[in-house]
Structure 1
Amino acid sequence: MVVRGRRVLTTAGIAAREVGIRGGRIVAIEPLGNALAGAEVIDLADDETMIPGLVDTHVHVNEPGRTEWEGFASATRAAAAGGVTTIIDMPLNSVPPTTTVENLKLKREVAADQAFVDVGFWGGAIPGNLADLRPLHDEGVFGFKCFLLHSGVDEFPHLEADEMETDMAELKSFDSLMIVHAEDSHAIDRAPHPGGDHYATFLSSRPRGAENKAIAEVIERARWTGARAHILHLSSSDALPMIASAKRDGVHLTVETCPHYLTLMAEEIPDGATAYKCCPPIREASNRELLWKGLQDGTIDCIVSDHSPSTLDLKDLENGDFAVAWGGVSSLQLGLSLIWTEARHRGIPLEQVISWMAAKPAALARLATKGQLALGYDADFSIFAPDDAYVVDVTKLQHKNPITPYDGKALSGVVRKTYLRGQQINNQTPHGTLLRRGGI
Structure 2
Amino acid sequence: MADGLDTVVRARRAVVGAAERPAAVGIRDGRIVAVAAYDGLEGAEVVELADDEVLLPGLVDTHVHVNEPGRTEWEGFASATRAAAAGGVTTIVDMPLNSIPPTTTVAALEVKRAVARDQVWVDVGFWGGAVPDNLEDLARLHEAGVLGFKCFLLDSGVEEFPHLPPAGFAAAMAETGRLGALMIVHAEDADEVAECAHGTAYRGFLESRPDAAEERAIALVVDTARATGARAHVVHLSASGAVPTLRAARAEGVDVSVETCPHYLHFEAGSIPDGATELKCCPPIRDAANRDALWAALADGDIDMVVSDHSPCTAELKRSETGDFADAWGGIASLQLGLPVVWTTARQRGVALVDVVRWMATAPARRVGLADKGEIAVGADADLCVFAPDEPWVVDPARLHHKNPVSAYAGRTLTGTVRATWLRGRPLDLSAGPRGRLLRRGAR
TM-score range, shorter chain: over 0.9
Counterpart of 1:431 in structure 2 is 435
Bigger mean CA deviation after superposition, 24-33 or 6-15? 6-15
Q: Work out the CA distance in 2 between the residues paired with 1:192 and 1:325.
A: 13
**Any idea what SS the aligned residue of 1:260 has?**
helix
2:14 is matched with which residue: 5, 8, 14? 8
Alpha-carbon separation, structure 1, partners of 2:380 and 2:337: 25
CA RMSD of aligned residues (A): 0.9
* 1:111-126 mapped onto 2 (5 Å cutoff): 111-126=116-131
Name the counterpart of 1:144.
Answer: 149
Q: Tell me, in whole angstroms, the C-alpha distance in 1 between the residues paired with 2:242 and 2:23.
A: 41
In structure 2, the partner of 1:226 is: 229
- Candidates 196, 200, 204, aligned match of 1:201: 204
Aligned to 2:187: 182
The 1-side partners of 2:22 and 2:290 are apart by: 38
Contact 1:391–1:410 (Cα < 8 Å) also in 2: yes
Aligned counterpart, 2:271: 268
2:413 to 404, 410, 413: 410
Matched-pair contact (CA < 8 Å) for 2:149–2:184 = yes
Contiguous gaps of at least 5 residues in structure 1: none
Question: May I ask how many residue pairs the two structures share in their alignment?
Answer: 437
- Segments of structure 2 that go 5 or more residues without pairing to the other structure are 1-6
Counterpart for residue 297 of structure 2 = 294
Match of 1:243 in 2: 246
Aligned with residue 364 of structure 2, among 361, 364, 373: 361
Which of 306, 327, 332 does residue 330 from structure 2 map onto? 327
The answer to whether the 8 Å contact 1:192/1:204 transfers is no
Quickly say closer, same or farther: Cα 1:438–1:405, change in 2 above 3 A. same
Q: In structure 2, the residue corresponding to 1:120 is in which secondary structure? A: strand
Contact 2:196 2:325 in 1 (8 A): no
Q: Deviations over 1:18-56 (max 9, x none)?
A: 11100000011111222x222221111110111000000
Mapped partners of 2:349, 2:237: distance in 1: 20
Q: SS of 1:325's equivalent?
A: coil
The CA distance in 2 between the partners of 1:179 and 1:19, in whole Å, is 34
Alpha-carbon shift at residue 192 of structure 1 (Å): 5.5
SS in 2 for 1:211: helix
Q: String of CA shifts for 1:206-257, please: whole Å, max 9, x gaps.
A: 1111111111100000000000000000000111111111111111100000
CA contact (8 A) 1:52 1:381 kept: yes
Identity among equivalent positions (%) equals 60
One-letter amino acid of the counterpart of residue 8, structure 1: A
Which amino acid counterpart does residue 367 of structure 2 have in structure 1? L
- 2:225–2:255: 8 Å Cα contact kept in structure 1? yes
- Residue 38 of structure 1 corresponds to 43
Amino acid across the alignment from 1:61: V
1:349 aligned to 344, 352, 359, which one?
A: 352
1:140-179 pair list within 5 angstroms: 140-179=145-184
- Partners of 2:46 and 2:26 in 1: CA distance: 9
Aligned-partner SS, 1:382? strand
Q: What CA distance in whole angstroms lies between the structure 2 residues aligned with 1:39 and 1:76?
A: 29
Task: Identify the match of residue 28 of structure 1 among 31, 34, 38.
Answer: 34
For 2:166 and 2:422, locate their aligned partners in 1 and report how far apart those are by CA, in whole Å: 42
Name the CA distance, whole Å, in 2 between partners of 1:157 and 1:203: 23
1:173-222 superposed Cα distances (whole Å, 9 cap, x missing partner): 1100110000011221xx36332111000000011111111111000000
Q: How many Å separate the matches in 2 of 1:195 and 1:214?
A: 26
- Separation in structure 2 between the aligned mates of residue 258 and residue 117 of structure 1, nearest angstrom: 21
Residue 13 (structure 1) shift: 1.2
Q: For 1:82 and 1:239, locate their aligned partners in 2 and report how far apart those are by CA, in whole Å.
A: 30
Tell me if the contact between 2:18 and 2:354 (Cα under 8 Å) persists in the aligned partners.
no
2:236 and 2:291 map into 1 onto residues whose CA distance is: 13
Q: Report the 3-state secondary structure (helix = DSSP H, G, I; strand = E; otherwise coil) of the residue aligned with 2:136.
A: helix
Q: Are 1:373 and 2:376 an aligned pair?
A: yes
Alignment check: 8 A CA contact 1:194 1:204 kept: no
CA distance in 1, matches of 2:259, 2:23: 32
Where does residue 81 of structure 2 map in the other structure? 76
Equivalence for 2:397 = 394
Q: For residues 320 and 237 of structure 2, what CA distance do their matches in structure 1 show?
A: 26
How many angstroms apart in 1 are the aligned matches of 2:243 and 2:53? 36
Letter in structure 1 aligned against 2:28 = R
Between the aligned partners of 2:161 and 2:183, the Cα distance in structure 1 is 15
